[in-house]
Amino acid sequence: MMAYSIQPACDLDASALAKICGKSFHNDRNTQLKGLRKNPYNLEQSMKASIPQQIASPNTVLLKLLDEKSGEISGWISWGFRGFSHTEVSEMHPDIATASKPHTLQPRKPDEAEKKDNTPPEEIEKGTDLKRWMDQLMPDGARCMYVISLSVAPKWQSRGFGSALLEWGIEKADKANVFIWVHSSEGAWQMYQKSGFEVIGTLDVDLDQYAPEPFNDGGNGLWGHYVFRYMKRLPRG
């Protein structure tokens, strides 16, 4: 049995959280492919810049999960809130740091100012699809929660820590009677499914259409298809 605590993250955690994110997506084919571009994408550096902005946002709650024995950050999650007042979101913070229990086992909105001629074709495809779903799920007047990012360090994976981070938001969503949605990576969707999320849409990307070089896996060199899943969890009273 392991004990953990879920606490609010702060700016000083940015480097550690970004490193966890980079390592957790090390074997993700989509992330690997993005690293082969002419201007390689570095997930860790991108998250290191993004995390302080998320922490400062009045519409976001960013939490870290600590292993109480070692004090090590095992994972983290960033929750986005749509249709909630800033007061409602801020009032969710006080009870977080005291949460400790035995353990048994926006998405980012595409930057409107970003020039498409400097954006790889697959990112245009994914960004356009994501915006379409965001407009559908979060129109003006909508009230919901969504998972911006969730990462668990590889050494702590398969122990239920991702589900524990999700449970915090699920309890809040059920209490507020709102749905939650997420734009899931290929490797995480089954975890969301176990927590009550259902697939409501997919984006199937043929990575080989955009690959600058063969996939170095000792096989046929093909990157294959990568499926993003849009998932939704309805509130349960």
Which residue in 138, 131, 154 sits closest to 80, CA to CA?
138
| Phi, psi at 176, each rounded to 5° | -85, -5
| Beta carbons of 156 and 180 less than 8 angstroms apart | no
What are the strands, taking DSSP E only, across 69-125? 73-82, 100-103
Angle at 189 between CA 184 and CA 191, to 5 degrees: 125
- The per-residue pLDDT for range 214-237, each reduced to its tens digit, is 887 767 789 999 999 999 999 997
pTM of the model: 0.84
The span from the CA of 151 to the CA of 146, in Å, is: 15
Residue 84, pLDDT score: 96
Share of the chain residues as helix, strand and coil, in percent rounded to the nearest 5: 35, 25, 35
Domain 2-233 has CATH 1.10.10.10: no
End-to-end CA distance of the chain: 30
> What pLDDT band is residue 121 in, cutting at 50, 70 and 90?
low
Q: Six-digit token pair at 116?
A: 């498409």
Give the dihedral sign, CA 138/62/101/187. Answer: positive
Residue 130, pLDDT score: 87
- For the chain, give every domain's residue range: 2-233
- The per-residue pLDDT for range 4-33, each reduced to its tens digit, is 899 999 999 999 999 999 999 998 888 988
